[in-house]
Each structure stands twice: as C-alpha cells, then as structure tokens.
Amino acid sequence: MTGSAQPRQPEAGVRYDVFHTDCPARDVVDHVTSRWGVWVLISLRSNDLRFYELRESIRGISEKMLAQTLRALVQDGLVWREVEPATPPQVTYGLTEFGRDIGEPLTELFDRITQRLSPRNAG
C-alpha cells in the first residue's frame, strides 16, 4: 500500500474533546461526512476500486472533488492508495481497517434509508 497514512492513534487514556475546534478528530469527522466522503466510503465497502471506477460509481462527482476527497481520506488513514507503475499510472483505492470500521455504520444508515423510502422516491 503505497502512500497510505496510518490513523492517528491516541495515547492510552487520552480522550478527544470533539467539541473543541482544535480537536484532530473533528477533521476526520468533517472528511467522512463531507458531501463526497460518505459516497467514497460506501463505494469502497465491498471492493477496491481504481480512480476511474470510483468516479463512475459516484455520479455527479468531478475528478477534482474525487481527488481532493481521496487525498483527505488517505491522509486520515481511512483509505489506502496503491500506484501501479504503468503508462498512465494505475491507482487503486481501498478501505483500511479504520475505514471499514467507520464505513460500516454509514453503510447501515444508507441501507436503512433506502429500505424505508417509498418506491416513488427511488432513484
């Protein structure tokens, strides 16, 4: 896994104050709950995907926004990135263990919402 970041590990007994503006956990929450962060995590829940596959699976996202979102999630340690030397380079993304832990409740939330929607609201 090239270029992957490790999740920030708190020292034993340290508890983050998520309501404080300087709390590092806030950045991770902001990235996960951003407009596109949730969709990236849900898209990667079952398969590792290449950049173009992610772009095609998340309709409406621009290449720029996908790249920015992936960069933030890799930096937070939620997503790993692997570059295969080729022309052009092939870049694959997948969820880290931390990303799977965070993505699981998001997937459950997504599934609950879609199960409760009436058929006329399905898109």
Task: Give residue-wise pLDDT tens across range 84-104.
Answer: 999 888 999 999 999 999 989
Q: How confident is the model at residue 79 (pLDDT cuts 50, 70, 90)?
A: very high
Question: Mean pLDDT throughout 44-63?
Answer: 95
| pTM to 2 decimal places | 0.77
Q: Is the peptide bond before 88 cis (omega within 30 degrees of 0)?
A: yes
* ∠ CA 112-114-115, rounded to 5°: 65
* 93 strand-pairing partners: 49, 81
